[in-house]
Amino acid sequence: MKRKIFKFCMASLIFCAFSCTSYIKTIHTDPLPDSENITKKLSFQDGSLNFSFYGDYVFDKTDKRFIFFTNKEIGDLLKNLKDKPSSQILFTYTPTSIYNNILGFYYAGKTLEDIKESFPARNPEKEMPHALVYRYQHNGHDILEVYKQEEKGVIRLIALNNPEKQNPGKFKLENDKLFFELNAGLWNGL
């Protein structure tokens, strides 16, 4: 009997060790010189993307007070696509209670057409020559997902807000400015 309990406990520990993915982690991103904003080089398997952020985004530490999601919630969002991401390329947040947590993932070998097929119930809010934008709610969060076609895959950026202090207008304004004004040049070409 003790042996069975021991085997069960060991199997549970091994399963947990391999299945408990944490998306809340600092990811090395090289800073690039920029006079007004923080520009980070997001590196992935087949290249890199220079993405600019406002000065209040935090990259090198985690403060649980400003992280608005659980690993399970991100795992559920990632399941919207059939395939798992090849790598996580970004985790950042703002140290305010209502704004953003942003995660980035890379999917090697994927296209925007693959992404559209994975969201059959949702139409993109916006389609650009090399990007798709989806907005929706999930578990009380306002979600913005931006997919950018790269030469050999797709980058997926997920922004989510604090469901306890929701301010959809501020969340939308912050992300529209961050993604489509500050980084406007990213969405028209590879």
Domain membership of residue 157 (yes or no) is: yes
Is 19 or 57 the better-scoring residue by pLDDT?
A: 57
pLDDT value at residue 49: 94
Which structural domain range is residue 54 located in?
Answer: 22-186
Domain membership of residue 141 (yes or no) is: yes
Question: Could you report how far apart the first and last alpha carbons of the chain are, in Å?
Answer: 61
pLDDT value at residue 31: 64
Average pLDDT over residues 72-99: 87
Domain membership of residue 6 (yes or no) is: no
How far, rounded to the nearest angstrom, does the alpha carbon of residue 53 sit from its chain's CA centroid?
14
Domain membership of residue 178 (yes or no) is: yes
pLDDT value at residue 148: 97
Mean pLDDT of the chain: 83
Kindly tell me if the per-residue pLDDT of 55 is higher than 60: yes
The structural domain count of the chain equals 1
Domain membership of residue 13 (yes or no) is: no
Domain membership of residue 4 (yes or no) is: no
Kindly tell me if the per-residue pLDDT of 8 is higher than 60: no
CATH number at residue 174: 3.40.1000
Token pair for 151: 């030469």
Domain membership of residue 75 (yes or no) is: yes
Contact call for residues 145 and 118 (beta carbons, < 8 A): no
Domain membership of residue 14 (yes or no) is: no
- C-alpha distances (whole Å) from 158 to each of 4, 6, 144 are 43, 41, 6
From 102, 99, 124, 101, select the one nearest 113 (Cα to Cα): 124
Global pTM value: 0.83
pLDDT value at residue 19: 45
H or E stretch covering 11:
helix 2-19
* Distance, CA of 177 to CA of 159 (rounded, Å): 13
Kindly tell me if the per-residue pLDDT of 77 is higher than 70: yes
Is 71 or 155 the better-scoring residue by pLDDT?
A: 155
